[in-house]
Structure 1
Amino acid sequence: MECIKTYIASWRWSRPTSTHRTHTDKIEKYQPGYPRFAALISSHAPFFLCRRFSRLRARVLLKKQDRLSMLEERLDEIDDKETSLLFLGKSRIDKNAARLSLLEDIESALADYGECSWVQGIKRLEAKSLDKFTEDSRRMLSLDAAESRDMASLQNWLDGTGCIARDESAYIKHSREMACLSPCGDSALVQLEAWVETKLTRVYRGFRQNRDYDLSTDPNVYLYSGQIIKRIARALLLFLITTLLLMPVVICNMANSTTVRLIIIVISTICYLFILSEMTKSRTIELVLAGATYATVLIVFVSGANSM
């Protein structure tokens, strides 16, 4: 990754949102500072990065839990000391003012979590409402982690332009907490596009000077968004898939020994699952199913070849 002479490092391919780009679409048309920084972020979806603030979320969650725990203990104490058991069995006639007041406090504390709606001026709790704080935290923590190349690109641009104060742009340095708001898409294709783009810029220096699809007029900024990288990456991905599927069949067809064929099947399946797990975000059950299907096809081929 070249970070010395360029503000922006190499990153994933991104197609422009419009095919009719003019000079006014360049990010330099905006005033330096947050206007230009926002234009840069909006020009490339993976640049939509944010901090999760995991430690602060954990702190607030612990406080909210403790508050509800104390309210729960107070409610249990009031119920244990209740002299009229009828009040515990029929809430409509409950005359215990302390319990009624405490239940209102509990409702208020839960409403701090809950998501309520107003319908015709009447406040009611939605049937499908969820714990708002914990649900928001779950969504934030489930976001994809930010790519190091994207964080480095933004940091390079900030260091090179000085548009944003250092203390206000320091959030990018919290690499472990950075999340990407943009959907990742096909992770295997994204990785190949990044690899192809890096190799092209290193082998052919003139590739960076192709300004036809560049979104910036700054010679130190590289924001390529053409079709070449995507087409090469797709071709490599198809070649890799074809090789993984057909190469074991070709090798097994050349081998006469059943033992050798079984060894080839085992090695091929291991390689297939390893590449699949590295290039995609597959779950365990998906890897199991993919490996079982792949091995079954090869075993059927070997069995058919032996019967001939």
Structure 2
Amino acid sequence: MRLPTASPRDITSIQNWLHGTGSIASPETDFLSHPHDLANLTGTLDSAVLTIETFIERLAFFLSSPIRKIKRLPESLKPGRHDLTSDPHIFFAGPRLRSFSRAVTSWIAASILLAPVVVLFCVQDAVGRLVTITVAVLFFLSALSTWTKARTIEVVTAGASYAAVLVVFTSASNALRPEYSARLGD
């Protein structure tokens, strides 16, 4: 089978629902104790978006707990969603959560890519720039290999391309500095 394994989040969701509703006899739920035998029939999801989505869901549950009644939490993020079900054991996140998670993932990716550019523009020392490029590429490759299902060759190619862009930016940013331009005029 080439189907991806079921995520721990999905297995926990099913276990919570079964525990809350008690609609299936306990021996019938033994299959959930073998997570490596379970498959995800919906296909693979973007793991970066799924990570952010899970974090936002947990934050929504935290904010909507009886102790912290937050009035500004959007209806689409409130646990229960009585417009879809009256069962308190079922939580529908809705498409807004997925869209917001995609936006947050894009913001994080843009930050990972552009923060080193800002640092490189501010750092004048060649060793500092080399260290910045090294750390930025390592962080970029770590994020890429953690959040995506990219093959090794794709990760290496993306890292080499990103490092090349940063090196070219470093040499191009020297031309924008007034002190460098003054030295060229001498």
Contact 1:143–1:181 under 8 Å retained in 2: yes
Q: State the TM-score, normalized to the length of structure 1.
A: 0.50
- Deviation of 1:165 after TM superposition, in Å, equals 2.4
| AA in 1 matched with 2:162 | Y
1:22-101 correspondence runs (5 A)? none
Deviations 1:240-270 (A, max 9, x none): 1111111111111111111111110000000
Matched residue, 1:225: 94
CA contact (8 A) 2:81 2:92 kept: no
- Residue matched to 1:264: 132
Where structure 1 has 5 or more consecutive residues not aligned to the other structure, the ranges are: 1-139
Query: In the alignment, what sits opposite 2:59?
Result: 199
User: Secondary structure of the residue that 1:242 maps to in structure 2?
Assistant: helix
1:290-301 map, 5 Å = 290-301=158-169
Aligned position for 2:79? 208
Q: CA RMSD in A?
A: 1.8
Query: Number of matched residues?
Result: 165
Deviation at 1:233, TM superposition (A): 1.2
CA contact (8 A) 1:196 1:232 kept: no
Aligned pair 1:186/2:54, yes or no? no
- Name the aligned partner's letter for residue 21 of structure 2: T
Q: Distance in 1 between matches of 2:133 and 2:139?
A: 10
Report runs of 4+ in structure 1 exceeding 3 Å deviation.
none
Partner of 2:90, secondary structure, is: coil
Within the alignment, does 1:236 sit opposite 2:90 as a pair? no
- Look at both structures and tell me which one has the larger radius of gyration over its CA atoms: 1
Tell me, which stretches of 5 or more residues in structure 2 are unaligned? 70-77, 181-186
- The one-letter code sitting in structure 1 at the alignment partner of 2:29 is S
CA displacement 1:189-242 (0-9 Å, x = unmatched): 122111111112212336215423x3x321232223241x22321221121111
% identity of equivalent residues: 35
Of Structure 1 and Structure 2, the greater strand share is in: 1
| Paired AA for residue 87 in structure 2 | D
Distance 1:263 1:269, change over 3 A: same
Query: The residue matched to 2:142 in structure 1 has which SS?
Result: helix
Contact kept in structure 1, 2:141 and 2:159, CA below 8 Å = yes
Per the alignment, in what secondary structure is the counterpart of residue 39 of structure 2? Answer: strand
Structure number with greater CO (CA < 8 Å, separation at least 6) is 1
TM-score, normalised to structure 2's length? 0.80
